[in-house]
Chains A and B, each alone.
Chain A
Amino acid sequence: MLIFATSDKGGTGRSVTGCNIAYRRALQGEDVAYLDFDFGSPTAGAIFDIPDAERGVSDRGLHSYLRSGLEPVELDIATESNRESLRDMPPSSGRLVLVPGDRGGGEFGRSQELVPRCISLFNRLEQEYAVSVIDLSAGRSYAADLALAVTGDERMRQVTSRWLVFHRWTRQHIIAANGLVFGENGILEAGKLHGHDPQRLRDSIRFVRTAVVNLEAPQFTMGRPAQEAWSRVCNNDLKELAARNGLGLSTLLGEVPLDPVLQWREQIISDADVVVSKIANPATVEAFDAIAARLSEDSTWEGL
């Protein structure tokens, strides 16, 4: 299964959330590959705490592969990461590998070889990994267009592809996420040009809300009553706005609460961060776990 992670704006926490979902899926027992297709800024290595790949690798990253066919490296998180909790995943976990981008790769010109190269890469990963998470850069990037061209190809029709659109829980982000999917040159319109069936493509897109403020937190329930009331009104307005923009409950895959660990240090949240050092909130891990499980839940992805 291929999971494409995208967002309209930067700063949505797409990469850090995507990495955490991949990590949780591996903890749930499946072999997972994480592909850094954010060619302008490949930083997944920093999130997984791999010192040699913090800003991409010096050679044999995804960028070199797409440009010249050089086989990309696969970094096994269990051996490459500096973090103990990532190296010591329980035996019931699957393998988690990062296929990094190239340092200083940048975007690149279109060439006829890119699509077939990408198809053989995705097919090869599909043979080995139960889930491949492909982190596309923000907005209507070339990576996103490439992903649509590849998944629209005849050779990929048996491979399940799903799209996660990350957005913050704010007015601007809701409107922007709507534009990315339904707007001019959006995913649906571009997908149609690449031979996708519009209804099927639409059914394979779900939204993930990030940095969502928890209104049940003591700062609201035990703070100023006026602030609490106002916050509830705002939240209801956002819910209405989301529903009007096609981002309502039926297309929602999950909500990630606002968590200082994600805001200040984009990192993988391990169970130890919740239970031992207690720097992260249990609700954050529960949210990642639920989203990871829903990636393959057929009931979640039924046609709308």
Chain B
Amino acid sequence: MNAVAPSAEQGPLVVVGEIRTCLVQNFAALPDNFVGQMLKVVPGQPVYSSKRPVSHATSPDRLTGLDCALASYSRRKAHGCGTALSHATVTGGRILQGSARACLLPAGADQRRAWRHYLARPGVVEITTRADPDDLAEGFLADHGRDPALDLGAISERVIDEVQSWRRLDHGTPLRARRTRVLWAAVLDSEIKPSARITLERDEKVRTVRINASPGDLPRAMRFCEDLALHDWLLTTVSLALSQADRASALGRDPVELLQPVVDQLVPLWTPGAHVDPVMLPLWTGLERHPGFTHQWQLLVARMRDKIAYRMIQLRDGGRPWPAT
């Protein structure tokens, strides 16, 4: 199910979305055929999957009805009515994402219409008040604190919950990980080259992405945001595991217990841009230059391997403790 393609004569359009990333609740990574079954949350629709370089599967889209206030940067009141689209993705049988989005379009009429009108336009929220696209995009990104107006995060969480409650999962936790949020807003205007502004440091769990692109690039822009969310989650999770391992060694405990599942299960999943359309790859190239995603990843992975190697030396020498790092 694709969102209605915005037409040029309507002027620039805003699509907003939120992605939540977490671990699949299972001790081991899931085999591909299990992932296929797990993601059949919408009966009758196919699960899209690709196997290389790492397996990646996307559930069918589903609809959620919305009738809510919309945040605007200028704090001008705005209201929308329509539907959001959401789906789940699973990467490497290990990482689960819930991804929800809505295209904000001006409504033809001031009055709220019958639901069948909105159901015929999946993924479109009609704005019944006057609103500037930039104002709405920035408002959505800024309003990530308490009481979000359009709560796409809650829709993403529901998708995650449904997938996690699949009966055949063992619901084990092989490693500790934070659930991260990526809020994104795309302003789509006639044929322009994609560009993005990414904020990573605002909050420990929240990242924001503002994209400018042409209307035809919408699915690619969303895919880019999901790929960014996945790799940002990997960096966050590995950093967390390393700080936990540092604490464990400082307190005289074995850090390998914490690091082994990370090296084993997460390190092979680092493939930035692998599932992203070439049109969007310049955005990844920018991130590789600054802040240097892959560079940071390599440093973290090397540190994990060093810690494991030190521990092996320590065990060879009869288990004497080495200075805490």
Contact = CB atoms under 8 A, between A and B. Distances in A.
A155 B178 contact: no
Given A130-B176, A159-B171, A123 B164 contact: yes
Contact of B248 (A29, A69, A70, A158): A29
A152 to B, nearest CB: 14
A163 B250 CA distance: 30
B76 interface: no
Interface stretch (B36-44, B146-154, B272-280): B146-154
B288 interface: no
Given A123-B171, A154-B167, A159-B171, A29 B161 contact: no
27 contacts: A29-B247, A29-B248, A31-B176, A60-B146, A60-B147, A71-B153, A71-B154, A73-B146, A91-B247, A92-B251, A94-B244, A94-B247, A116-B161, A120-B165, A123-B164, A124-B22, A126-B173, A127-B176, A127-B177, A128-B177, A154-B167, A155-B165, A156-B171, A157-B171, A158-B171, A158-B172, A158-B173
A64 B35 CA distance: 33
Interface residues of A, number: 29
Interface residues of B, number: 27
Contacts of B23: 127
B170 interface: yes
Nearest to A70: B154
Q: Point out which of A29, A73, A157 has the most chain B C-beta atoms below 10 A from its C-beta.
A: A29
A129 B176 contact: yes
Contact of B251 (A29, A70, A155): A29
B227 interface: no
Interface in B111-162: 146-147, 153-154, 157, 161
Interface string B232-248: 00000000000010011
A23 to B, nearest CB: 16
A70 B158 CA distance: 11
B77 interface: no
Interface in A35-85: 59-60, 69-71, 73
A59 B244 CA distance: 32
Contact of A123 (B25, B178, B251): B25
